[in-house]
Chain A
Amino acid sequence: MNVPVSNMTRISGNGVGNALELRGVGKSFGALAALADINMVVKPGERRAVLGSNGAGKTTLFNCITGDFLATAGTIRFFGEDISAFPAYERIRRGLRRTYQISLLFTALSVLDNVYLACNGVSRGRFSFRRPQRNDAVTESAETLVNMVHLDSVRNTLVSDLSYGQQRQLEIAMALSGAPRFILFDEPAAGLSPAERRELIDILTNLPGHVGYIIIEHDMDVALRVSDSVTMMHNGRIFKEGKPAEIEDDPEVQALYLGGENHG
């Protein structure tokens, strides 16, 4: 577990088919349809950007995929397995990860403890009443991740004392814990300084090839640089799919999003 992100041995489930396959996924909150008829196929290792204005349903889509709440219609397959009815923790244990738009961190715990919790959640020692020994595999992988996102200097600092940018880095480290097969990044670059953005792009582009992701990003520079394909969403539906260059040049997209008042 020295290099957790490239460790393929712990991958569970049968790794056949598409990384993610959504068929007719919908989510209604009472009369409000936040998502309707979402069909989406993401191949293993594919990096996809999801764009769309506020309220387009991007984060709702993430919540349905990870099981933060259940979709009200359609099926979600993860590497061929129907996970539509699985609780969130079962999906995570199969190699799905996510970050949150508004950091959901354990502010009363240290940086290392946060990453340790993330690594331990997908290990067998979740219920262990024994403290980790020296050279414990989970502890070591947590330390590796902390170093990877350049938080080693603050590893024992409480998360509540971190800067905003550092908290975003920590979110990413937690999403990389265990052996992720697919990651959902919810606006990871929001509020970062230009230098921190460059670091983020480095981390994303240097992920092992088999790890695919979907990234929600308002910053087109970041979104288009780190993705192979783009999905545009509007009013809870998929509006357009294509290569980054195609989407950028599409007149409809430009009218709706890139040149529109919704930008940013």
Chain B
Amino acid sequence: MASIDTHADGLTSQSWVERIPAHYYFIAIALISMPVFAGDFILFQIFGWTFILGVISLSLMFLAGYGGMVSLAQMTIAGLAGYMVAIFGNSAIDTISQGWPWYVAIPLALLIAVLFGTIVGWLAVRTDGIYTIMITLAIASAFFYFTRQNYVIFNGYSGFNGVLPPQLFGIDWRHPVAFYYLTLFWAVAAYCSVVYISRAPFGLALQGVRDNARRMAALGYNVTAHRVAAYAFAALLAGIGGILLTWQSGQISPGTAGIGPAIDILVIAVIGGLRHPVGPFIGAFIYVLLKTFAVDVLLSLGLAGERFQLLIGLGFLIIVFWSPDGLLGLWERFRSSRSRDPLTGRNGGGREL
């Protein structure tokens, strides 16, 4: 956790290229070359969806992992951003959609998502623990029912279809390969920004607020303002994820941001692990694999296909039961048990995540 050791020995002589661990390069090459050996379905449906859900979950991980605030409204914020893109930009519902160019519609959608996230945060930071979950769940369900019943702005039950990404640089961004790189780019950008901010003064102070809010106030920090600012940043991430999600399915409707999806985002973050920004992406990958292939596996076993939620629920139970830190926690435990000296029982120095 040494965030400010810019003078740490051995680092000053290396360039930043050398400082990035080798496995990062390995993962980067694997991800960039993925379209060479993966089919369209894998690129668009598995990885595209993983990156999108990962980004939305990452916004929850940022709040919960660094700020200690579990918000169930992140999918709602994502959904709002998706709706705003549909309303300000183009969709098949041209009586409502304004048809404004993407460079107006997208920033406006993100701005509204951030404003909404800030208001959610401003309401939620008055509460703690279970009450934060309850208040954000209340906001999520209110949004779901409001969009379902409001036909003037949100087009009610059916929502918007035909919401497509702009044809920027002459590329069809919904083509599987292009969409894969589009979502990969934003996933990497979101991941890097969270890693960077976690060690910047803002992120460090947020972790201080999480661990001891009273002490932070006694060090001169406005704890409430810090928490609300964290919600605003998390809303930006969720908004980006929400727009990509809308483009992927080409539509947005109340069910996209319903209570089920809101809880799924929490499940993804917890399965992956809340301790590190890579957790939500691991959780999203497992969720997407289960959601996509569990039906086939269940059918081949002679069970009803709808039972895939049961598998996700069981997986969630097992992970929470064995490792409150998600799969990342299991991995950490495995590594520290391998590095433990069998004679003394001492740890041989497991690397910090």
Q: How many residues of A contact B (CB 8 A)?
A: 44
A60 within 8 Å of B (CB atoms) = no
Across the interface, do A129 and B197 meet the contact criterion of CB distance under 8 Å? Answer: yes
Q: How far is the CA of A111 from the CA of B211 in the complex (A)?
A: 15
Number of A-B contacts (CB under 8 A): 122
Q: How far is the CA of A112 from the CA of B207 in the complex (A)?
A: 15
Chain B 177-230 interface residues, beta-carbon cutoff 8 Å to A: 196-197, 199-202, 204-205, 207-208, 211-212, 214-223, 225-226, 229
A118 within 8 Å of B (CB atoms) = yes
Residues of B within 8 A of A255 (CB): none
Residues of A within 8 A of B22 (CB): none
**B199 contacts which of A98, A106, A131, A136 (Cβ < 8 Å)?**
A131
Task: Give the interface centre of A98, A116, A117, A142 by most chain B CB atoms within 10 Å.
Answer: A117
Across the interface, do B220 and A106 meet the contact criterion of CB distance under 8 Å? Answer: no
A88-B218, A89-B222 given as contacts; is B205 within 8 A of A126 (CB)?
Answer: yes
Across the interface, do A132 and B201 meet the contact criterion of CB distance under 8 Å? Answer: yes
Residues of A within 8 A of B225 (CB): 127
A89-B220, A121-B219 given as contacts; is B208 within 8 A of A128 (CB)?
Answer: no
Residues of A within 8 A of B205 (CB): 117, 120-121, 126
**B202 contacts which of A92, A110, A127, A133 (Cβ < 8 Å)?**
A127
Chain B 1-42 interface residues, beta-carbon cutoff 8 Å to A: 1-8
Chain A 87-108 interface residues, beta-carbon cutoff 8 Å to B: 87-89, 92-93, 98, 100, 104-108
Across the interface, do B220 and A130 meet the contact criterion of CB distance under 8 Å? Answer: no
Across the interface, do B219 and A113 meet the contact criterion of CB distance under 8 Å? Answer: no
Give min CB distance, B341 to chain A, whole Å.
19
Residues of A within 8 A of B202 (CB): 126-129
Residues of B within 8 A of A106 (CB): 207-208, 211-212, 215
Q: How far is the CA of A158 from the CA of B207 in the complex (A)?
A: 14
Residues of B within 8 A of A125 (CB): 201
What residues make up the interface of B, taking CB atoms closer than 8 Å to A? 1-8, 196-197, 199-202, 204-205, 207-208, 211-212, 214-223, 225-226, 229
Can you report 16 residue pairs joining A to B where beta carbons are below 8 Å apart?
Answer: A68-B214, A88-B217, A104-B215, A109-B1, A113-B4, A116-B3, A121-B216, A122-B219, A125-B201, A126-B202, A126-B220, A127-B201, A131-B199, A132-B4, A132-B200, A132-B201
